[in-house]
Amino acid sequence: MAVPISQMATVASYVLRQKLAGRKRYPLVLMLEPLFRCNLACAGCGKIQYPAHILKKDLSPEECFRAADECGAPIVSIPGGEPLMHPRIHEIVEGLVARKKYIYLCTNALLLKEKLDLFTPSKYLTFSVHVDGEREHHDFSVCREGGYEIAVDAVKEALRRGFRVTTNTTLFDGADPNSVRRFFDEMMEVGIESMMLSPGYSYDKAPDQKHFLGRARTRRLFRAILSNRKKHWRFNQSPLFLEFLMGKRNYACSAWGMPTFNIFGWQKPCYLLQDGYADSFAELMNDTKWDEYGTESGNPKCANCMVHCGYETSAVNDTFGSLRGFWATVKATMSTEYKDDGALAMLNEPARPVHSYNPLVQIESPQQETSV
């Protein structure tokens, strides 16, 4: 099982209640960012670029609980920044567990091993460890040698102590599908519960502005990775969302499904794109012009996005919105092989990034930028 039955039942009954209440927009996952500071400076991340006085700020546990109560989503994802750098993160987790929220604490795991004592294993708490592929790929992606080893070591320790652990992998242009598939095997062998996958979002504040995938490329990459799937791979994602990534179905963005709360307030419209802040969850839901976002809106900032925080709720909505969607989910859950000769052939092609590079043998000619 990719997630425990109790969690599946909680989410299913919550979504059905929203449907029965006739709610067109409802939150599924609260993205709670209790701080922006991080102990990594990844090239593809546009989350941590703030003045020092902003990076030093933390949400208090009380502010986190108020946001969770106001929002009401059954799942709370805690990204950041690096949440384990928050001095009261264990209090935040405890309070959310007491509220019976299913928590995904997203961490790069550099501090996980030393912080594990602060937490108690629970069906409500999962460490979602950011690992961007095999050793070399991960280390380069997070711009730190040795990062993979630290993360995997911490994952093993967390598993040994009885915690739920998943991985969270972001893929950029140039990702090698064969390597990603080998990575899946590796993680399943380590014994994690399941894996999450996402194409990187084109953050305009990220240092790397060259390796964001367009949608056509994203679909090809995920088709190569997720077709001809191995039976033992487990994913912590809606099977229809994975089909969306593979280009087998199309969805409109439902950014309202994963609202974000951080030190500035409720972020409009989503975790990825900042277009202002609301002071309450109700204001976020009622005053955001949702039609101005999502691929179909023509908004260039949304053009390439296929990230779960915009589209996973759409997939879940599809599951519970019609018998056809429900049947498609059942089928996708039972039959996960996705035999595809074309995708197999793609695995034999060399990975061809748009901007050809190999960091170890070819450096692009010096640019004006000199600092990192």
Partner 1 sequence: MSQNLNPAHNPDELEVAQGTHHDQLEGWVPQLASDAELRDAFEKAFDYRGDVTLTLKSGEKIEGYVFDRRTGKTAAESVVRLIPAGKDEKRAIPYSEIAALAFTGRDTAAGKSWEAWVRKYWEKRQAGEKNIGLEPEKLD
Could you list the residues that contact partner 1 (CB under 8 A)? Answer: 37-41, 43, 46, 48-57, 143-147, 173, 202, 204-205, 207-217, 250, 264-265, 276-277, 295-296, 298-300, 303-304, 354-355, 357, 359-360, 363-364, 366-367, 369-372
Q: Which is nearer to partner 1, 235 or 281 (CB)?
A: 281
DSSP 131-143: --SSHHHHHHHTT
Residues 6+ apart with CB under 8 A from 153: 113
Report yes or no: 322 and 267 within 8 Å, Cβ to Cβ.
Answer: no
In whole angstroms, the minimum distance from the beta carbon of 53 to partner 1 comes to 5
Q: Which is nearer to partner 1, 185 or 204 (CB)?
A: 204
Torsion sign (Cα): 212, 216, 218, 220: negative
Report the amino acid identity of residue 117: D
Q: Which is nearer to partner 1, 46 or 74 (CB)?
A: 46
- Measure the CA–CA gap between 54 and 242, rounded to whole angstroms: 36
The closest of 260, 134, 161 to 201, measured between CA atoms, is: 260
Burial class from Cβ neighbours inside 10 Å (0-12, 13-18, 19+) for residue 24 reads exposed
Q: Which is nearer to partner 1, 4 or 265 (CB)?
A: 265
In whole angstroms, the minimum distance from the beta carbon of 46 to partner 1 comes to 7
In whole angstroms, the minimum distance from the beta carbon of 123 to partner 1 comes to 34
Q: 323-346 as b/e, with b when 16 or more CB fall inside 10 Å? A: eebeebbeebeeebebebeebeeb
In whole angstroms, the minimum distance from the beta carbon of 331 to partner 1 comes to 24
Report yes or no: 188 and 234 within 8 Å, Cβ to Cβ.
Answer: yes
In whole angstroms, the minimum distance from the beta carbon of 241 to partner 1 comes to 16
Q: Which is nearer to partner 1, 169 or 218 (CB)?
A: 218
Q: Which is nearer to partner 1, 155 or 206 (CB)?
A: 206
Q: How far is CA 315 from CA 9, 308, 338, 343, in A?
A: 17, 9, 18, 23
Q: How far is CA 257 from CA 182, 254, 290, 352, in A?
A: 32, 6, 11, 34
Q: Which is nearer to partner 1, 303 or 344 (CB)?
A: 303
In whole angstroms, the minimum distance from the beta carbon of 14 to partner 1 comes to 29
Q: Which is nearer to partner 1, 2 or 143 (CB)?
A: 143
In whole angstroms, the minimum distance from the beta carbon of 107 to partner 1 comes to 15
Query: Which bin fits 142, alpha (ψ -120 to 50), beta or left (φ > 0)?
Result: alpha
In whole angstroms, the minimum distance from the beta carbon of 225 to partner 1 comes to 17
- Measure the CA–CA gap between 366 and 362, rounded to whole angstroms: 12
Report yes or no: 243 and 14 within 8 Å, Cβ to Cβ.
Answer: no
In whole angstroms, the minimum distance from the beta carbon of 101 to partner 1 comes to 26
